[in-house]
Amino acid sequence: MRKWLRQLSLRSYLMLGILLPVALFILVDSVVIYRQALIAVNTAYDRTLLASAKALGEHIEADGEADAAQLRAVVPYAALEVFEADNRSRMIYRISDTQGRLIDGFKDLALWRGQLPALGPYAALVDFYDDNYRGDAVRVAVLLQPVAMKRARTMAVVQVAETLELRRTLARQIMFDTLWRQLALVSVIALVVFVVVQRATRPVRNLSLQLQQRRADDLTPLSLDNAPHELRPLLDATNTTMRRLQHLLENQKRFVRDTAHQLRTPLAVLKVQVQSALRGDVDAHQGLLEISHTVERATQLANQMLALAKVAQLAQEKATEAVDWAGVVREVALDLSPLIADKALDFDIDTVPAPIQTHAWMLRELSRNLLHNAIRYSPEHGKLQVRLLCDASHAALVISDNGPGISEELRKRLFQPFSAGQAHSGSGLGLAICLEISHTLGGQIELVNRLNHGRIEGLDTTVRLPLAIMATETAAKP
């Protein structure tokens, strides 16, 4: 049932949700109307039965004295005309004494054996009940008629029965008349609902058609003109998503374009170097060194391109565990220790536990790129300091070197892909990867020149990342 409802269109769901309760209400209301109509008809016709019983009671006489009096009925034909007033029903009567002896009427009409109601609707001694006569359902009125003559005092029992065809026919007619009006009302409601639903869902259909007719690369914002108030949040969210997709698409196009250019250069150089070595233009050993250097640069470029793509992939996957950044930084420093030793750097590292909700690879790649850059631009016998600090909500990795720093012109493009700090010093993707990772983790990265009396004596690279929420909440619990 739920699956079927989910497959309904919005228009069908609205029509069903409005018209189905109305139809159920009319069905229940029809049953109630029929019962009420039958009660009203019975009340009206019971009065007719009582009037007929009284008319018959007026023609009952008694002979004799006191308890020995004998009843007799002299019913003229005019009093029986009411029994022939309508051929859709039959009326039967019976007149008897209190002992049940038949005086006049139909002897096969069952004798009344009931009791008078304590608080009946009539002042007379009257009772009404349902019975069967010759297989037909009948409504019976009973009147206890006192008969008083000169010396006779007695009581007669007058029973008048009527078959129910006319009553039921009248009740059904009342119900059908009401039902036809209600069906007409439902038709009007259905027409109005259909028109209103059609008009209300027209913007949705137009939006769907507009999106279907768009080109695959068309991510321009949707127009908010004449849009209903209820659709504006959806359109705003859609436009926001399209702007993000447009930004991602432009970055992807630029990245693919720049990547193609960057890969083309080392491959072309490698081809020239191989041809020169084959022709004998350069010494074989020198040629192999040049080829090795070119392959190393191409390999580094390919690895960093794959790393940048992996950052985008991991950004879509939610990390389930907290990673200690301090342990990652120390592992990276240990891996790069041969480079530190080659330059005889005065290396110092100071860390505190810093749980970060992320993938361990992202923290490792971030730390490796930043520390590798600091080692590369540090002079021999320089000083390199790594500190990992924490406050209530964030952790900060600060890497301080004695390198040349960065110029204002370089600062504007340093985080762009393929923008190396020095010519032929790298692929220019390291800081772009660091920026992408820090933004993915909800953090910030900043490069600031360290000055001493107006002279640059080094660079401080600072990355701030939010601490893991789960770890913070766990630590706060007693």
Residue type, 248: L
d(CA 291, CA 273): 6
Q: Count CB-CB contacts under 10 A for residue 152.
A: 18
Task: Using a cut of 0.85, tell me whether the model's pTM lies above it.
Answer: no
385, 400 Cβ separation under 8 angstroms: yes
List % helix, strand, coil for the chain (3-state, nearest 5).
55, 20, 25
What pLDDT tens digit does each residue of the chain (478 aa) get? 566 656 666 677 777 788 888 888 888 887 888 788 778 888 888 888 888 888 888 888 777 665 666 777 777 656 656 555 555 677 888 888 888 888 888 888 888 887 777 655 655 688 888 899 888 888 898 988 887 766 667 788 898 888 888 888 887 888 788 878 888 888 888 888 888 878 877 777 777 787 788 887 777 887 777 777 777 888 888 888 888 788 777 767 766 776 676 667 677 778 887 888 888 777 878 888 888 887 877 776 677 666 666 666 666 666 668 889 999 999 999 999 999 999 999 999 999 999 998 888 888 888 988 998 899 889 999 999 999 999 888 999 999 999 888 877 777 666 665 555 454 444 556 787 788 888 888 888 988 898 887 788 889 999 999 998 644 444 444 4
204 half-sphere exposure, CB direction, 13 A CA radius: 11
Backbone torsions φ then ψ of 144, nearest 5 degrees: -90, 105
